[in-house]
Amino acid sequence: MTSKEQPQSTDTIGIEMVKHVALLVRLGITEEEAREFSHQFNAIIDYFHLLNEVDTASVPPANASGPSSNVLRADQVAPSMSREDFLKNAPQAEGSFVRVPGVLDED
């Protein structure tokens, strides 16, 4: 087992790590939430260390349970969803576009 596959039980998930991950997944959280999550995450991740008991040196990783090769179809155009239907769900539609706040900062 490589050292990369063997996490130590002393790894802790601090508040800064929680905030970092929250930003990665685009979740706004408060200081209070970061503190609470840090505590809970450590307990949960610690529990996962149970898997270290298992010798997986010569075990391949599983893939999904269904068909084991890519499922292809002929490249033929067929109707999917009309633009009109799609735009019905848009929080803000403008003509044939979906509008969102600026992608680049204005300042």
Partner 1 sequence: MELHNLTLREAHELLSTKKISSLELTTAVLKRIRQIDPQLHAYVTVSEELALEQARQADARFHSGKQITPLTGIPFAVKDCISTRGVRTTCSSKILENYVPQYNATVIDRLAEAGAVLLGKHNMDEFGMGSSCENSAFFPTRNPWDLERVPGGSSGGSAAAVASGLTTFALGEDTGGSIRMPAGFCSVVGLKPTYGRVSRYGLIALVSSFDTIGPLTREVYDCAAVLQTIAGKDPRDSTSLSEAVPDYLKNLGEPIKGLRLGIPKEYFLPGMEAGVEKSIREAVRTLEGLGMQVREVSLPHTKYALPVYYLLLFAEASANLARFDGARFGRSDREQAKNVVDMYLQTRREGFGTEVKRRIMLGAYVLSAGYYDAYYLKAQKVRTLLRRDFETVFEQCDVLAAPICPTTAFKIGEKIDDPLTMYLSDIYVVATNPAGVPALNVPCGFSQGMPVGMQLIGKQLSEALLLQVGHAYQMATDWHKMRPPVA
The residues of the shown chain that bind partner 1, judged by CB under 8 A, are 2, 4-7, 13, 17-18, 21-22, 24-29, 33, 37, 40-41, 43-45, 47-48, 50-54, 56, 59-62, 64-67, 70-71, 73, 81, 85-86, 88-92, 98, 100-107
Distance of closest approach, residue 24 Cβ to partner 1, in angstroms = 5
Give the number of other Cβ atoms within 10 Å of residue 80's Cβ. 7
Nearest to 35 by CA among 7, 2, 59, 13: 13
Distance of closest approach, residue 94 Cβ to partner 1, in angstroms = 13
| Residues paired with residue 93 on neighbouring β-strands, in sequence order | 98
At 82, list the tokens.
């009309």
Distance of closest approach, residue 95 Cβ to partner 1, in angstroms = 15
Distance of closest approach, residue 10 Cβ to partner 1, in angstroms = 13
* Distances 11 to 8, 33, 51, 99, 107 between C-alpha atoms, Å: 6, 20, 15, 43, 39
